[in-house]
Amino acid sequence: MNKLCQHIAPAINIAISSGNKIYYIELPNEENGKLLIDLYDPLTSEVKKQIDEKCQDLRFWEWEGVPHNPAEKGYTCDKCNIVLIFPSRKTPQMP
Ligand SMILES: [Zn+2]
């Protein structure tokens, strides 16, 4: 299993200390050689500000989404191929 890299770990800590949670971790596969970390809640402007300040190795991205595939935003560590993904809306809790 890939370790969380030192670049993205502080960003995850910032998100979690704001009350967010890790929803799902998708291990790299042949099609997509990236470790994907999905969070439950959207990116707030306060969390974005902190991550932008403290995690300057990460690349911020935004995706508008398409029908059946909602918008997302997040941060990528291009050195380590790890992607942190925030949904555009709160992830519904499983019943
Ligand atoms: Zn990294």
Q: Residues within 5 Å of ion ligand 1 by Cβ?
A: 5, 7, 77, 79-80
CB proximity list for 94: less than 8 A, separation 6 or greater: none
pLDDT at 6: 93
Cα(70) to ligand 1 centroid in Å equals 26
Asked if pLDDT for residue 73 goes beyond 70, the answer is: yes
pLDDT at 44: 97
Q: What pLDDT is recorded for position 60?
A: 98
Q: 26 vs 4, 9, 38, 47, 78, CA distance in Å?
A: 12, 16, 8, 23, 17
What distance in angstroms lies between residue 83's CA and the mean position of ligand 1's atoms?
Answer: 9
How far, in Å, is the centroid of ligand 1 from the Cα of 55?
A: 10
Task: Note the pLDDT tens digit of each residue in 42-68.
Answer: 999 999 999 999 999 999 999 998 888
Flag whether the pTM goes above 0.75. Answer: yes
pLDDT bracket for residue 95 (50, 70, 90): low
Q: What pLDDT is recorded for position 89?
A: 84
